Chains A and B, each alone.
Chain A
Amino acid sequence: MTPVFAIENLSVEFARADGTVAAVRAASLAVRPGECVGIVGESGSGKTQMLMAAMGLLGNGARASGSVRFEEREILGLPAAQLNRVRGSRLTMVFQDPMTALTPHLRIGTQLAEVLVRHRQVTWRDAEQRALRILERVRISEPRRRLRQYPHELSGGLRQRVMIGMSLLCEPSVLIADEPTTALDVTVQMHIIDLLRSMREESRMAIVLVSHDLGVVAGLAERIYVMYAGRVVETARTGRILAGAEHPYTAGLLACVPDLDAPRRARMPSLAGQPPDPTGIERGCAFAPRCERAQERCHVERPLLRDRPEDHQVACHFPLSA
């Protein structure tokens, strides 16, 4: 099946007073209709910037190159007027902080209806009816009352449900969810992930789910992309990542996911060191300074993303299977 959304060789650079910063370096990713893919990596690994570039949401001073295809059409670099025909309707995005993503001085109902009036040319009355139905669909209690409320009157979990509802209004073929649960409590997080799962089952919509927490992504995604220092360093189907991750970074992230069924350990697992500084010049493998398996070669020669058995790619000179 052809991907509905494909990022190819995407690079993102920011101009700064002290030089350029490469946030994303030749990253590629593909999502088929109805599929959910996850992107994991630490802060600064380029996850968000890659998707912001794909959505045409980069700020001034940023430059993106490469290709982004959506529904078999190139959308990278499209003028805003053309991009706005798909953005927010067929291709939508849910952000980490639902408070800043909603307009504080407009009622929930107005904000939802506006999306339909803008993209679907329906009347306000019809739009409000559909806004009510979407709140029911994302299982918000007392939907009629919510339509008249302002964002600050809702809890974080409810606001994120509203955001997801808003992103579903025009029946998108791709939903990008960037750390949608990171600002939420663990109990609320579980309900939001459940909600995304059932929305996908109902509509065959594809989802790109971004998180620093592999535990969150593994619960929903069929395929996982692991990013480090702006590059995809490993990708495979979720089961393969969980059972046979080959990149030491992926293995480190996996070890950090808590297992409450295992006996309590004296030390909490973590990755040593800090995420890399994107201003540095790339030499060798970016993960080498934090890698226990690193050898001389890792510090001088950058490993390329190579094919492994079972639809699996890894960028490491000394993968864990070897």
Chain B
Amino acid sequence: MSGELLEVKGLHVRFGAVSVLEDVSFAIRPGEIVGLVGESGSGKSTIARAVLRLIPIASGSVEFLGSNLHSLGSGELRRARRDLQIVFQDPLASLNPRMSIGDALAEPLRIHEPQLTARERESRVSGMLERVGLSGDILRRYPHEFSGGQCQRIGIARAMMPSPKLLVCDEPVSSLDVSIQGQIVNLLADLQRDTGAAVLFISHNLAVVRHLSRRVLVIYRGRVVESAGCDELFARPVHPYTRELLAAVPHLSAPPRRIAAPAGDSTGLAPGAGGCPFHPRCAFAQAACQRGVPPLAQVRPGHLAACHRWRELV
């Protein structure tokens, strides 16, 4: 045991001939909140699915509590998943429309703690509902009766029922109003503090990740391009892609920030013939950027960036 709760090493995932994740490595310590940021199609959700072993991987390993999840037998995998829960982006679609809220929350306990009596289950369910800010009288109601924010509270409650050690949240606030997003982010922060669970928080929006994460990984086209402590990343971003993400957050002081170069469309461009995957839309690209994929370099203690020109950008 290395003291890490989750250790992802050299992860490669392919969908047919398309390589979706390339050599992704990161670790999460017990109780740590790690943010994972990138745009649509960058591979964020694929990382979540590979970590939960919902999809097969091409190579690499996902070690959770010291065992490689992708080599476990089905019984062992089921036991491991008790400690490894997920919250999805679309809160309504992730709840069974025909299952009452009470049944949806009791189900993880029926699976993972079959020894509990009905009364014990009920008391755990009511306790959790209260914990996520919902009243106990919703037990017999159905998902369609709730707003998006309330459904997401229910989704979080369900994921927390078996007291997991790691909660993977895949864009949990992206479908919610800006005014409601904070409620959910703050709820996750409180639950993390009270239960000590670690959280992998995935979002395309850096502003959301900022409030919650201790460490942030930035992913672009299936590769980690920058990782640093949260305050360090926001104060001193190095990778041009991270800078672009920061500049794109809408804010109120006019005039709008603009970035130096016109950006292309990340998924509309033909993949560059080798070189840094970001160079076709990078404001800082030079001829040298077409030669070889830049490795993650330590730009400061605990701060990694994959850019050929990092020395000039630090």
Interface residues of A (CB under 8 A from B): 42-44, 141, 154-158, 184-191, 193-194, 212-216, 218-219, 242, 252-254, 256-261, 264-272, 274-275
A-B contact pairs, 22 of them (CB 8 A): A42-B179, A43-B147, A43-B148, A43-B177, A141-B264, A155-B41, A156-B40, A186-B206, A188-B265, A193-B256, A213-B250, A215-B251, A216-B250, A219-B254, A254-B252, A257-B178, A260-B246, A260-B251, A266-B211, A267-B186, A270-B180, A275-B147
User: Do most interface residues of chain B lie in helix, strand or loop, or is the interface mixed?
Assistant: helix
Closest B residue to A239 by CB, please name it. B254
- Give Cα distance in the complex from A257 to B205, angstroms: 12
- Give Cα distance in the complex from A134 to B268, angstroms: 18
How does the 8 Å CB contact mask read for B93-118 relative to A, with 1 for contact and 0 for none? Answer: 00000000000000000000000000
Tell me whether A215 and B252 are in contact (CB under 8 A): yes
Tell me whether B248 and A260 are in contact (CB under 8 A): no
Interface residues of B in 224-266 (CB under 8 A from A): 230-231, 234, 244-254, 256, 258, 263-266
Interface residue? B314 (CB, 8 A): no
Other contacts beyond A185-B39, A190-B247: 4, CB < 8 A: A157-B265, A187-B266, A257-B252, A271-B180
Smallest distance from the beta carbon of B94 to chain A beta carbons, Å? 18
Tell me whether B211 and A265 are in contact (CB under 8 A): yes
Which residues of B lie under 8 Å from residue A190 when comparing CB positions? 247-248, 250, 256
Known: A155-B268, A187-B263. A259 touches B210 (CB 8 A): no
Interface size class of B (residues with CB under 8 A): 35 or more
Count, A-B residue pairs, CB within 8 A? 141
Which residues of A lie under 8 Å from residue B180 when comparing CB positions? 42, 270-271, 274
Which residues of A lie under 8 Å from residue B163 when comparing CB positions? none
Interface residue? B28 (CB, 8 A): no
Closest A residue to B42 by CB, please name it. A185
Smallest distance from the beta carbon of A308 to chain B beta carbons, Å? 21
Smallest distance from the beta carbon of A139 to chain B beta carbons, Å? 8
Tell me whether B268 and A154 are in contact (CB under 8 A): yes
Q: Which of A43, A158, A185, A269 contacts B204 (CB 8 A)?
A: A185
Interface residue? B286 (CB, 8 A): no
Which residues of B lie under 8 Å from residue A216 when comparing CB positions? 250
Interface residue? B298 (CB, 8 A): no
Closest B residue to A263 by CB, please name it. B231
- Give Cα distance in the complex from A261 to B182, angstroms: 18
Interface residue? B67 (CB, 8 A): no
- Give Cα distance in the complex from A266 to B212, angstroms: 8
Known: A185-B40, A260-B234. A218 touches B252 (CB 8 A): yes
Known: A155-B267, A260-B234, A264-B230. A213 touches B204 (CB 8 A): no
Interface residue? B150 (CB, 8 A): yes
Tell me whether B183 and A270 are in contact (CB under 8 A): yes
Tell me whether A187 and B178 are in contact (CB under 8 A): no
Tell me whether A264 and B210 are in contact (CB under 8 A): yes
Which residues of A lie under 8 Å from residue B269 when comparing CB positions? 141
Smallest distance from the beta carbon of B37 to chain A beta carbons, Å? 10
- Give Cα distance in the complex from A187 to B269, angstroms: 15
Closest B residue to A215 by CB, please name it. B250
Tell me whether B183 and A260 are in contact (CB under 8 A): no
Tell me whether A187 and B248 are in contact (CB under 8 A): yes
Q: Which of B248, B250, B265 contacts A155 (CB 8 A)?
A: B265
Closest B residue to A276 by CB, please name it. B147
Tell me whether A157 and B204 are in contact (CB under 8 A): no
Closest A residue to B41 by CB, please name it. A155
- Give Cα distance in the complex from A156 to B41, angstroms: 11
- Give Cα distance in the complex from A307 to B134, angstroms: 39
Which residues of B lie under 8 Å from residue A212 when comparing CB positions? 177-179
Tell me whether B179 and A186 are in contact (CB under 8 A): no
Closest A residue to B176 by CB, please name it. A43
Interface residues of B in 188-238 (CB under 8 A from A): 189, 204-208, 210-212, 230-231, 234
Tell me whether A268 and B39 are in contact (CB under 8 A): no
- Give Cα distance in the complex from A259 to B207, angstroms: 8
